[in-house]
Every structure is written in C-alpha cells, then in structure tokens.
Amino acid sequence: MTSPAHITVLLEEAVEALSIKTDGVYVDGTFGRGGHSRAILARLGPAGRLIAFDRDPVAVAAGQAVKDARFELVHAPFSDFAGALAERGIDKVDGVLLDLGVSSPQLDEAERGMSFRFDAPLDMRMDTTRGVTAAEWLAEASVADITRVLREYGEERFAYEIAKAVVAARAGGHVATTGQLAALVEKAVRTREPGQHPATRTFQALRICVNQELEELSLVLPQVVAALATHGRLVVISFHSLEDRIVKRFMRDASRPPQLPARLPVRAADLPRPKLALVGKPVYPSDAEVVANPRSRSAVMRIAERADS
C-alpha cells in the first residue's frame, strides 16, 4: 500500500527553536521522511553538519535521496546517540531535535501492523530488522504483564479484561493479526469515549512496549545534555502525555539546582549550576496546521538551552 505523503509537524517552529548557527553541528534524532532535516540543512552553511538517526529501515532508505556532504543518516535508535557521535569524532553539538512517536507512513502502511484500520500481521516494530513483534510478545506474555503494559502505556481502564481475553484466545492459536486483536478488544471493552475505537489505547500501548519508546526517550535525554555546547538547544516534540511528562520533568529538573535537605549547611552559590535553562513556553500547532494535518493536534514542543558551564 502506498502511504500518503508525510506531513512534518511544527516544521518551521522546531527549526526556528534550534536557533541554528550556519557552521554548527546538529542532530535530528528522528529522520522520518526528512522534513526537519531538510529544513535544518537549508539554514546551515558549507561548514555546518547534520547527523540524523532513524531505526526504521524504510526511513533510512528514503534518506538516501538526501545528497548532501554535510549530512549523514545513522540506522540506529537515538539511544545510541553518544556512541554514534563518538564514532564520528563529535564531542559537542549545537542543537538536537527529537520528533517523537510514530510517523504517518508507519501508521498508513498496513504491513507495519500498527493500525487496526487494516487487517495485517501484528508487527508494530519501528525497526523491522530486529526485535520481537507485537504478536510474538502477546504469545508469551502473562495476564499480569499485558495488564501492566495496557495500563501504563495506554492508560486503558479495561486492561485486565483485555489481557484475559488475549490469553484465553491463545488456546486456539496465536493472536497474529491486527484484525484479531481489534476484535478481541472490542468484545472486552464495555464502553469507550465517543469517536474513539475501542482498540486505540491497546494498539498505542503495545507499540510503545514493543519499541521501548519511553525507555529510549529516558536514555537519550541525559546523553543530549552532556553533548550540548553552551547555549546549544534541545527541542522535543511529543505526541502523547506519557512522552511529554518525561520531557517536561527532565527539563524541569535539569533547569533547577540540586534539591538538598533544607537544613544542610550549603550556600546557594556553592551548589552546582543547572545544566539547562528553559526557553519560552510550550509550543502547540496552530489552528491552521491542525486543520491541514489532524494528526498534529496532540503535539507539544518544549525547548531548553544548555546553560553556561
């Protein structure tokens, strides 16, 4: 199936937030179809450099179309950030953009198994060359494990009922397709918010679990801060509350001095300086962008800057 063209969310706002220097070194942690990367390259001068990451082999193949000596695309999760930069002799960067979540092509290509809109193999992996598929995980997971994943990653009220239904269905064979899973969930979920498919939260939770999306995010953020040059920018676009909560708390904590016991005899001037400074308020898509691209409606962008060392 041919997917519609991917529309980059908060394109101009994100690139503007990076405050690009023409000779700077930048990282696009999620290349996707290259919208942000191309906009960054357009602002870089001849001495600039852009390293992009993506774990999706289809995205990496699409990136081969970018013929630019200043650009390199790495087939790896962005949690490999520090190691990949070290291999390339880069110790400091001037800005990092993380555009989180799943891309439109991943949702719209039936064979990826990320959507209940198509009946297809239940894969859900962003990197189809490695790791366990959602079907394989469901074939082995216990009721307790499935319940935990659906509650934590999907905030699903009927997690236990769905988990029991999945495990019971395994007696007749694996839950191997998106259609099978969606049908199980529909029977197990008694009520649902108007306009939302009963399987929406389940599919989100399994995708996050299979790809370890929240763990990847928690791993990369400290690496980014360690690599940012003074006044370098960290720009993160999140699409659901679990991601945004991690980003918000990380930036908040990194922008404050260490929280010590009140009576500890330490002067404020002697405390380590915060590593980050928050920049502005969260940025949301405009009404016009949401109309043009409804999938942008849940996006929120947060910006922080590396403080003076």
CATH of span 11-99+213-306: 3.40.50.150
What is the Cα–Cα distance from 150 to 140, expressed in whole angstroms?
15
pTM: 0.89
Whether 284 shows a pLDDT value over 70: the answer reads yes
pLDDT for position 93: 98
Whether 34 shows a pLDDT value over 80: the answer reads yes
Instruction: Give yes or no on whether 11-99+213-306 and 113-211 have one common fold.
Output: no
Q: How do residues 237-251 score in pLDDT, each as one tens digit?
A: 999 999 999 999 999
Q: How do residues 147-203 score in pLDDT, each as one tens digit?
A: 999 999 999 999 999 999 999 999 888 899 999 999 999 999 977 778 788 999 999
Q: How do residues 129-163 score in pLDDT, each as one tens digit?
A: 999 999 999 999 999 999 999 999 999 999 999 99
Using pLDDT thresholds of 50, 70 and 90, give the confidence band for residue 266. low
Whether 3 shows a pLDDT value over 80: the answer reads no
Binding site per annotation, positions for S-adenosyl-L-methionine: 34-36, 54, 78, 99, 106
Using pLDDT thresholds of 50, 70 and 90, give the confidence band for residue 255. very high
Q: Give the rounded percent of residues in the chain with a pLDDT score beyond 90.
A: 76
For 1, other C-beta atoms within 10 Å of its C-beta total 9
What is the Cα–Cα distance from 221 to 253, expressed in whole angstroms?
12
> Which structure tokens are listed for 43?
């602002």
pLDDT for position 111: 75
What is the Cα–Cα distance from 233 to 28, expressed in whole angstroms?
12
What is the Cα–Cα distance from 246 to 164, expressed in whole angstroms?
30
Concatenated DSSP letters of 191-241: ---TT--TTHHHHHHHHHHHHTHHHHHHHHHHHHHHHEEEEEEEEEEE-SH
What is the Cα–Cα distance from 101 to 121, expressed in whole angstroms?
21
pLDDT for position 108: 66
Whether 293 shows a pLDDT value over 60: the answer reads yes
**Residue 16 burial by CB count (10 A; 0-12/13-18/19+): exposed, middle or buried?**
middle
Amino acid identity, residue 246? I
Whether 269 shows a pLDDT value over 70: the answer reads no
The class of domain 113-211 in CATH terms is mainly alpha
pLDDT for position 116: 85
Domain map (residue ranges) of the chain = 11-99+213-306, 113-211
Sign of CA dihedral 213, 63, 283, 105: negative
For 297, other C-beta atoms within 10 Å of its C-beta total 14
Binding site per annotation, positions: 34-36, 54, 78, 99, 106
What is the Cα–Cα distance from 241 to 218, expressed in whole angstroms?
14
Using pLDDT thresholds of 50, 70 and 90, give the confidence band for residue 1. very low
Residues near 300 by beta carbon (within 8 Å), at least 6 away in sequence: 237, 238, 244, 282, 283, 284
How many residues are listed for the chain in this entry? 309
